[in-house]
Amino acid sequence: MSNLFPPGRLARSISKISSPIRKDRLLRPTVLSPDTHRRKPVRSSGRSLRLGCALVATLCIAACAVGPDYRRPALDLPATFKEGADWQRAQADPQGAISSTWWLDYRDDTLSHLIEQSLKANQSIAAAEAAYRLAKATVDANTASLFPTVGAGLSGSRSGTGAGASTTGAGSVTNLATADLSASWELDLWGEVRREIESAKASAEASDAQLAGERLSIAASVASDYFALRQADIDIDSLQQQQQLDARILEMTRAGFLQGTASNDDVLTAQDTLEAVIADLQTTETSREQDEHAIAVLIGTPPASFSLPPQRDYAFATPSVPLGFPSQLLERRYDVVNAERTAAAANAKIGVAKAAFFPTLTLSAEGGFEHNTLANLFSLPSRFWTLGPDLAATIFDGGARTAAVHEAEATYDEEVATYRATVLTAFQNVEDSLSSYNHLQQQEQAFAHIYQRNRQLFASEQAQLQAGTASEQSLLTQQLTLLQAEQNLKDTQASLAESSVTLVKNLGGGWQWDDAKGAAVSANTSSPQQPLEQTSGVLSQ
C-alpha cells in the first residue's frame, strides 16, 4: 500500500472541518458556576484520550491504499535499428532530437503556412483538445472526493390551520425560522479515492499524448498531401508535353502512311501511345484535385473555397532526420506513451475494485438554530446539533465485488498486451520507414544518372538532325524518352520527401515524454537555422 495522501495534509483537513463546531461551545454540556456566574466546560480527559487515539489510528489507516503499485511492463528492446544501421552512421549526431517545427526544414513557406493553419483550425485536433480538458476535469472531480462536503441553509416558513381543521376547534398560525450548517466526510481509509485519482491522472496523461498524436498526424498528412500535389503539378506538365509530342509523332506517322513509308500498324501504335498519355493525364489531374480537397479539409476550409496554384518547377527538399536509439522511441512515440499510461490507469482500477471489500466510514455533523421568531433565532436556547460516524459494509453481494476485481485485472492484462504490441508496431514503422528511405535514395541516384544520360542522347540527336543524319521523328522520340526520365526522377524525389515525412512521424515528430514531470517536453531542434517551438504536450504548458 502506498502513501498517496500525506498524513499532514489529512490532519489539516480534519482541523479545518472540526473548527466550526467548537467542543467547548457545542459538544460538551455546560454548568453554571455559582461563584463566577460563568459557563465552564466539563472536562473529560478519558474521552479526549480515546478521541486522539482514534484520530491517530484513522490517519495511519488513511495513509494506505490497497491494490498493486504500478510498475512499467518489461520490454525486450533491440540495441539498434536494423534497417537504419548504415544510414545512422552517416549522421553527424545520431542521438539528435527532431525539431518540433520539423516542417520548417523543407524550406517551403506555403507548406509551413498550411501546417500552422491546420494546427489551429483542424476539427480532429479540437476534439482531442476537448477530450484532454475532459480528462483533466475528471482528475479534479476525483480529487474533490478527498475533502469534506460542507453545506449551509437558511429557511423560514409560516403555516396556519382553520378552526375546522384543528382538534382544539380554534385556528392557529405557526412561524418557523431555521439556520443550519452541515458537514459530511467519507474517509478514504483504503485508498479507493486515491486510486481513482491515480487512474484519472494516468488517463489524462494518455489523453495528452493522444492530443500530441493528433497534431503530429494532421501536420504529417498536410505535408504528405502537399508533396503529392506538387508531384502531380510536375507530372501534369510532363504529360502535357508528352501529349504534344505524341500528337506530332502521330501526325508524322499518318503522313508517312499516305506516302507509303509507314504501315497502318505504325499509325495504330502511335494512336494508342497518344491515348495512353491522355488517360494518364486525366488520372493525374484527378489525384491533384483530390489532394487539394484533402488539404482544404485538414486546414478546416471547405474545398470549394480553397485552391493552390500549380507550381510545375517545384524542387523537392529532403532534410536529414536525426535517428535516436530504439529505447528513445518509447518516449518520442505518442501512441506508445498513450498505451503505457492507459495500462497505468488500468492498474490503479484494481485497487479501486479491491477497496470495495472494506467498510466505509463517514463522519457527519450538523448544527444550527431554530426558532419561531427571526429576532430570537441566533440565541443559545435555539441551538441544535448532531454529530456521529457512520460505518457501513457490504455483507453479501453474490460475488459482484470479486467479479469486479477479476474484471479490473483482466483489463490491466489487456492494456499491457496492447502496450507491448504498440511498441512492436512502433519499431516496425520505423524500420519500414528507414527501409523505404534508404532504397528511395538509391533509386533517386539511379534515375538521376538515367536522366543525365538521356540529356546527352537528346543533345546528340539534335546535332545529328542539324547534320542531316537523323530525322525529326527520331528527335521527338528521344525527347519523349528524356521527359519520361525527368518525370521518373521527379516522382522519386517526391516519394523521398513523403518518406521523410513518414519517418519524422514514426520517430515522434519532435515530441518527447518526460516521466519525471508526467508531461510532454520540448525536444532540441535538429536544425540550427530554425527556432524551436513546442507544438504539443498540453500538460507542460
pLDDT in tens, 55-92: 545 554 555 789 999 999 998 888 778 776 554 444 43
Q: What angle do CA 3, 7, 13 make, to 5 degrees?
A: 130
Question: What was the pLDDT predicted at 527?
Answer: 37
- Give how far Cα 24 sits from Cα of 40, 180, 240, 363, Å: 8, 19, 98, 19
Question: What was the pLDDT predicted at 164?
Answer: 65
Confidence of residue 16 (pLDDT cuts 50, 70, 90): very low
Task: Specify the range with the lowest mean pLDDT, choosing from 12-21, 469-478, 496-505, 511-520.
Answer: 12-21
Confidence of residue 51 (pLDDT cuts 50, 70, 90): low
Candidates 122, 99, 97, 118; CA nearest to 226 is 118
Q: What is the pLDDT of residues 485-498, one digit of tens each?
A: 999 999 999 999 99
Question: What was the pLDDT predicted at 63?
Answer: 56
Query: For all residues of the chain together, what is the average pLDDT?
Result: 83
Candidates 283, 329, 290, 281; CA nearest to 308 is 290
By CB neighbour count within 10 A (0-12 exposed, 13-18 middle, 19+ buried), where does 327 fall? exposed
Question: What was the pLDDT predicted at 523?
Answer: 58
Q: Is the pLDDT of residue 533 over 70?
A: no
Q: What is the pLDDT of residues 355-395, one digit of tens each?
A: 999 999 999 999 999 988 888 888 888 888 899 899 999 99
Length of the chain equals 541
Which grid coordinates are listed for 32? Answer: 453554571
Mean pLDDT of 468-492: 94
How far does CA 271 lie from the centroid of its chain?
55
Question: What was the pLDDT predicted at 168?
Answer: 64
Question: What was the pLDDT predicted at 522?
Answer: 59
Could you tell me if 500 and 318 are in contact, meaning their C-beta atoms sit under 8 angstroms apart? yes
Torsion of CA 413, 414, 415, 418, to 10 degrees: 120
Measured in degrees and rounded to the nearest 5, phi and psi for residue 518 equal 65, 35
Question: What was the pLDDT predicted at 246?
Answer: 95
Q: Of 8-17, 317-326, 335-344, 507-516, where does the model show the most confidence?
A: 335-344
- Give how far Cα 452 sits from Cα of 256, 457, 474, 476, Å: 32, 9, 19, 17
Question: What was the pLDDT predicted at 308?
Answer: 96
Confidence of residue 332 (pLDDT cuts 50, 70, 90): confident
Q: What is the pLDDT of residues 436-451, one digit of tens each?
A: 999 999 999 999 999 9
Which grid coordinates are listed for 422? Answer: 504498440
Assign residue 107 a region: left if phi > 0, alpha if psi is -120 to 50, beta otherwise?
left
Confidence of residue 323 (pLDDT cuts 50, 70, 90): confident
Question: What was the pLDDT predicted at 202?
Answer: 94
Question: What was the pLDDT predicted at 47?
Answer: 54
For residues 117 and 478, give the distance between their C-alpha atoms in angstroms, rounded to a whole number: 45
Candidates 277, 447, 451; CA nearest to 459 is 451
Question: What was the pLDDT predicted at 89?
Answer: 43
Mean pLDDT of 415-441: 94
For residues 40 and 24, give the distance between their C-alpha atoms in angstroms, rounded to a whole number: 8
For residues 196 and 211, give the distance between their C-alpha atoms in angstroms, rounded to a whole number: 22
Instruction: Please report, as a single letter, which amino acid is at residue 468.
Output: G
Q: Is the pLDDT of residue 217 over 80?
A: yes
Could you tell me if 451 and 486 are in contact, meaning their C-beta atoms sit under 8 angstroms apart? yes
Question: What was the pLDDT predicted at 468?
Answer: 87
Q: What is the pLDDT of residues 250-278, one digit of tens each?
A: 999 999 999 988 899 999 999 999 999 99
- Give how far Cα 85 sits from Cα of 4, 255, 279, Å: 45, 59, 42
Assign residue 191 a region: left if phi > 0, alpha if psi is -120 to 50, beta otherwise?
left
How far does CA 182 lie from the centroid of its chain?
42
Confidence of residue 7 (pLDDT cuts 50, 70, 90): very low
Percentage of the chain beyond pLDDT 90 is 63
Mean pLDDT of 279-307: 96
For residues 411 and 414, give the distance between their C-alpha atoms in angstroms, rounded to a whole number: 5
Q: Is the pLDDT of residue 105 over 70?
A: yes
DSSP 145: T
**Residue 290, SS3?**
helix
Q: Is the pLDDT of residue 125 over 70?
A: yes
For residues 515 and 183, give the distance between their C-alpha atoms in angstroms, rounded to a whole number: 39
Could you tell me if 337 and 207 are in contact, meaning their C-beta atoms sit under 8 angstroms apart? no
Longest alpha-carbon distance in the chain: 145
Q: Which residues, other chains included, contact 438 with Cβ-Cβ below 8 Å and sequence gap of 6+?
A: 83, 84, 86, 87
Could you tell me if 333 and 201 are in contact, meaning their C-beta atoms sit under 8 angstroms apart? no
Mean pLDDT of 266-292: 96
Q: Is the pLDDT of residue 428 over 50?
A: yes
Could you tell me if 339 and 264 are in contact, meaning their C-beta atoms sit under 8 angstroms apart? no
- pTM greater than 0.85: no
Q: What is the pLDDT of residues 157-212, one digit of tens each?
A: 888 777 666 666 666 788 888 999 999 999 999 999 999 999 999 999 999 999 99
Candidates 364, 391, 367, 389; CA nearest to 378 is 367
